[in-house]
Structure 1
Amino acid sequence: MSQNNPPLNYEPSLSGTNQSTSTTLPPEVSQCLKNARYLHLATIAPPITPSDPPAPHVSLMNYTFLPSYSWSNSTPGPVILMTTNTQSLKTQNLRHNPKVSLLVHDWSSHRPPTATTSTSTGENRSGSPPAAARGSSLASLLLNLNTSALSSISTTISGEARFLDSGSDEEKWCKEAHLANNTFEGQLSTEAGYFGGAVQPMSENVNGDAGGYIEGNDVRVVLVPVRTGRISDFKGGVRDWQIVDGDGAGGNVDDSRGRTEGLVNGAISS
């Protein structure tokens, strides 16, 4: 077996594999959640007719990771916050079935140059970088300068989502935390400029782009406790993990209000 390119059947993963339990998140999972900017949220759509099978639905989501969170009677531990429009398909799905699966990774998904430029039928292979990127070491360096991996694992998190009560203190605090964690000091405006959009001065656009995550009465906050999941590494290895009774991921909790001090993924850290 090649160390860098193991076969697809390298390790079975149908049932629990290399199971580990702890009172805290595995360090690599915690680091992955801190580094990543987006996650993939998988939900199940209700059948249109009784004979229809359930249909999966995947959404790319901004999120906020809180290493330790407790509010009122909720169980302390790490959580993920997201926001959604009440009229969205994922909201409809979550109301029908709150069980979700989250996929998080913090490496770039940029496609590297392929070994050949054409398929077996002679057609040009779509999606491959130009020949100059393969022939020049400098071009290859520039091509991959911003696409190197930050980590070597991805993690899948299984859980049950809940909507926070509209207008509650908990929802208000979580919206503010989510806004702070997804405000990137004008980065979104700069990115828009790459595609022909207007770039506003930073002083005029500190919260303008991120405010859309929480504004409006039709925006709901979704909370997913992080308790169980699976790690997949670049060699094909699989490890299952579970958090058991304890203090979760070890964040600093304000016992008087049950809030977590500091945000970790995105631009703000504790």
Structure 2
Amino acid sequence: MSCPEILPDHVLSLLKTSKYLHLATCSKPECIPSVSLMNYTYISPDRVYVPKGAEHSSSDRCHFIIMATQRDTEKYENIIQNPQVSVLIHDWVTAKKLSLRKSSMSNTPTPAEPAQVDPEQQNPDHPSRLLNLLQELNQSELSQMSATLRGYAEHLDTSSDEFDYYEKELLKANPDARVYTRGENVSVVKVKLVNAKVSDRENNTKFYD
């Protein structure tokens, strides 16, 4: 079970900065797919868990994603039956900026705004302002990038040091994930990434194995 030696910088940046990803699992033998929105943390090769007294080996030099879930869920059952999973990450930053931009355009002008501004230009429905928004939308859509990462998921033993290590790493990045890591019904899942498919703004696709 090999892993990609190199992932492009923009994918690594997304993995490090995004709060959520979409996790795809599939039951076996029925092959019924399921998709879940998950918070997670990315573990680079230099941050993987190493037992006390051991040293990094070549098999440790992989990229991992850590998530937490309840055991009485469909995705957990799917992972136990079929550890092959996929995750989707996407750059939503530009979309968020556009949403804020659109919201600001819809606000009613305040008296403090310059009197010389054409009242029609202040109207969010004015053609020139709508055209500007559409142009920004088109440009931003072209600049967005998404990546599909395939991997193998492993449920960690709750009594192990590895569980404790990755739970702490997950909670550092996502304090609100604590609800998924407490109690007898919890599972911390480690996904070892094995390849990546990246689509760029021109709809070109590159594979990284």
State the TM-score, normalized to the length of structure 2: 0.70
Distance 2:161 2:125 in 1: 53
Distance 1:236 1:211 in 2: 38
Match of 2:147 among 133, 141, 155: 155
Answer yes or no: is the 8 Å Cα contact 2:63–2:192 preserved in 1: yes
Answer yes or no: is the 8 Å Cα contact 1:70–1:76 preserved in 2: no
- For residue 61 of structure 1, what is the aligned residue in structure 2? 38
Distance 1:210 1:224 in 2: 17
State the TM-score, normalized to the length of structure 1: 0.55
Answer yes or no: is the 8 Å Cα contact 1:39–1:103 preserved in 2: yes
Whether 2:76 is the aligned partner of 1:91: answer yes
Decide whether aligned partners of structure 1 residues 133 and 105 sit closer, same or farther in structure 2, where only a CA change above 3 A counts.
farther
Structure 1, unaligned stretches of length 5 or more? 1-20, 48-52, 114-130, 184-208, 243-270
Answer yes or no: is the 8 Å Cα contact 1:80–1:225 preserved in 2: yes
Where do residues 107-122 of structure 1 align in structure 2 (5 Å cutoff)?
A: 107-108=92-93
Please report how far the alpha carbon of residue 167 of structure 1 lies from its aligned counterpart in structure 2 after TM superposition. 1.3
Report Cα offsets for 1:7-29 as digits up to 9, x if no partner: xxxxxxxxxxxxxx973222121
Q: Secondary structure at the match of 2:63?
A: strand
- For residue 120 of structure 2, what is the aligned residue in structure 1? none
- For residue 182 of structure 2, what is the aligned residue in structure 1? 215
Decide whether aligned partners of structure 1 residues 159 and 225 sit closer, same or farther in structure 2, where only a CA change above 3 A counts.
same
Please report how far the alpha carbon of residue 75 of structure 1 lies from its aligned counterpart in structure 2 after TM superposition. 2.5
Where do residues 92-241 of structure 1 align in structure 2 (5 Å cutoff)?
A: 92-108=77-93, 132=124, 135=127, 137=129, 152-183=144-175, 209-241=176-208
The amino acid that maps onto 1:226 is L
Decide whether aligned partners of structure 1 residues 81 and 22 sit closer, same or farther in structure 2, where only a CA change above 3 A counts.
closer
Answer yes or no: is the 8 Å Cα contact 1:32–1:154 preserved in 2: no
The amino acid that maps onto 1:230 is K
Decide whether aligned partners of structure 1 residues 226 and 212 sit closer, same or farther in structure 2, where only a CA change above 3 A counts.
same
Size of the aligned set, in residue pairs, is 170
The amino acid that maps onto 2:10 is E
Structure 2, unaligned stretches of length 5 or more? 52-56, 103-122
The amino acid that maps onto 1:153 is M
Please report how far the alpha carbon of residue 105 of structure 1 lies from its aligned counterpart in structure 2 after TM superposition. 1.0
- Which one has a larger percent helix, Structure 1 or Structure 2? 2
Q: Secondary structure at the match of 1:166?
A: coil
- For residue 71 of structure 1, what is the aligned residue in structure 2? 50
Decide whether aligned partners of structure 1 residues 211 and 80 sit closer, same or farther in structure 2, where only a CA change above 3 A counts.
same
Distance 1:100 1:134 in 2: 47
Decide whether aligned partners of structure 1 residues 65 and 134 sit closer, same or farther in structure 2, where only a CA change above 3 A counts.
farther
Identical pairs, percent: 36
Match of 1:41 among 11, 14, 23: 23
